[in-house]
Amino acid sequence: MKYCSNCGSPVRSLIPPGDTLPRYVCDACTTIHYQNPKIVVGCIPEWEGKILMCRRAIEPRHGLWTLPAGFLENHETTLEGAVRETLEEAHARVEISMLYALYNVPHINQVYLLFRGQLLDLNFKPGAESLEVQLFDERQIPWEKLAFRTVRETLKVYFSDRRSGSFSFHIGDISPPQSSNKPSNELAQATRLSERI
């Protein structure tokens, strides 16, 4: 951040009195510009043992597969956001059944919230941000062409839960890609952080 979004003056980075972290502060209008993580909301749309996925028509990860998800808007609940993203990206209507997974992605300042949702009909088609949308059963999941690690982790626990016959809420942390030279540790960490509620 270089300029104040309130008055247009240059901002400085400093630790305000009583605070513990540097903030962008505007000397002209005294506004302190706090920056906090963004929330990404999404859905696992289900239909007769299959799930609906979208192939991305936009960067990042153009051409790779993902679950319908996107940034929560102001004045919107997380559930409303998940339903909206599913409609926008896949023209798919869902009835949300449960909050299924939460992933912290602290190195990019994001928190993912993924819901399970029952597809209400099969009238889905690609939205503006999707090249194609398709139902997959577990054997068909394009594991080598997934867009995001959050999606990969979500699908891993999802199909594991389904095999066990019991779906439960999962929470985990996604670490920076630089440390992904220890994929088994990352998986162990995600597994360790999964907990039943």
Binding site for Zn ion (CB under 5 A): 4, 6-7, 9, 26, 28-29, 31
Three-state SS sequence of the chain: CCECCCCCCEEEEECCCCCCCCEEEECCCCCEECCCCEEEEEEEEEECCEEEEEEECCCCCCCCEECCEEECCCCCCHHHHHHHHHHHHHCCCEEEEEEEEEEEEHHHCEEEEEEEEEECCCCCCCCCCEEEEEEECHHHCCHHHECCHHHHHHHHHHHHHHHHCCCCCEEEECCCHHHHHCHHHHHHHHHHHCCCC
The CB-of-14 to Zn ion minimum distance in angstroms stands at: 14
Q: Which is nearer to Zn ion, 28 or 120 (CB)?
A: 28
Least distance in angstroms from the C-beta of 24 to Zn ion = 10
CB of 6 to Zn ion, least distance (A): 4
Question: Shortest gap between Cβ of 28 and Zn ion (angstroms)?
Answer: 5
If the CB atoms of residues 31 and 134 are measured against Zn ion, the closer one turns out to be 31
CB of 12 to Zn ion, least distance (A): 11
Q: Closer to Zn ion by CB, 27 or 195: give it.
A: 27
Which C-beta is closer to Zn ion: that of 28 or that of 171?
28
**Nearer Cβ to Zn ion (9/185):** 9
